[in-house]
A = this chain, B = another copy of it.
Amino acid sequence: MKERGILTVVSGFAGSGKGTLMRELTSRYDNYALSVSATTRDPRPGEKEGREYFFKSTEEFKEMIETDAFIEYAQYVNHYYGTPREYVEAQLMDGKDVILEIEIQGALQVKKKFPETLLLFVTPPSAEILKKRLVGRGTETMPVIEARLSRAAEEAEGIGAYDYLIINDQIEECVNMMHHIIRNEHMRASRNIDFINKMKEGLRSLSKGE
């Protein structure tokens, strides 16, 4: 039997660089599976069913909610977004470390349902650097940037519920750190009860000269 994978939720401020981090992590190591969300919004040009999202009608989505087919879901503006349970379960059973990139509300839902979930929060080294990165993109006006910072301030209230901070200063270091955190999580005593029990039994019988 394969060792079950670790379910990891990654959240972070807009501008924290978590998208780049995830791409690097999953392209370098083959133990990861990125979860694909379901949504009721329309596909945008270039988006592909099952790659960016599973596209569902509102009726389909609501039926999935009723049959408990989501690990977590939320409604933003007029659309639903959710993480289908089936894919995640299948990958975990196959020994893959599954990564969900979701926001804090969803992260807390997942942790409540699956307390063994690892919660990681990606943050720049300081608020000033976050602002600098948002300004540096040159794609948003100052009021929009201030709205994003205000939203980040709200999100920051929830960081304490996460297991680890990933302070995104150097991308290289950051990818390594995230990889090691997830890999080491496999070595938690609480995730190795079978190993411990086998060791106990083995020691008991060997100590009797069996």
Contact = CB atoms under 8 A, between A and B. Distances in A.
A183 B150 CA distance: 32
Given A149-B203, A184-B164, A189 B156 contact: no
B180 A162 contact: no
Report the contact-size class of chain A (Cβ under 8 Å from the partner): 35 or more
Given A177-B184, A177-B187, A181-B187, A196 B146 contact: no
- Chain A binding surface, main DSSP class: helix
Interface stretch (A30-38, A88-96, A125-133): A125-133
A149 B189 contact: no
Contacts of A152: 203, 207
Report copies per complex.
Answer: 2
A64 B189 CA distance: 34
A202 interface: yes
Given A189-B160, A200-B153, A200-B156, A131 B206 contact: yes
B164 A207 contact: no
Interface in A48-76: none
15 contacts: A121-B189, A127-B205, A127-B206, A128-B202, A131-B206, A146-B209, A147-B207, A153-B204, A156-B196, A156-B203, A159-B196, A164-B187, A165-B195, A165-B196, A180-B183
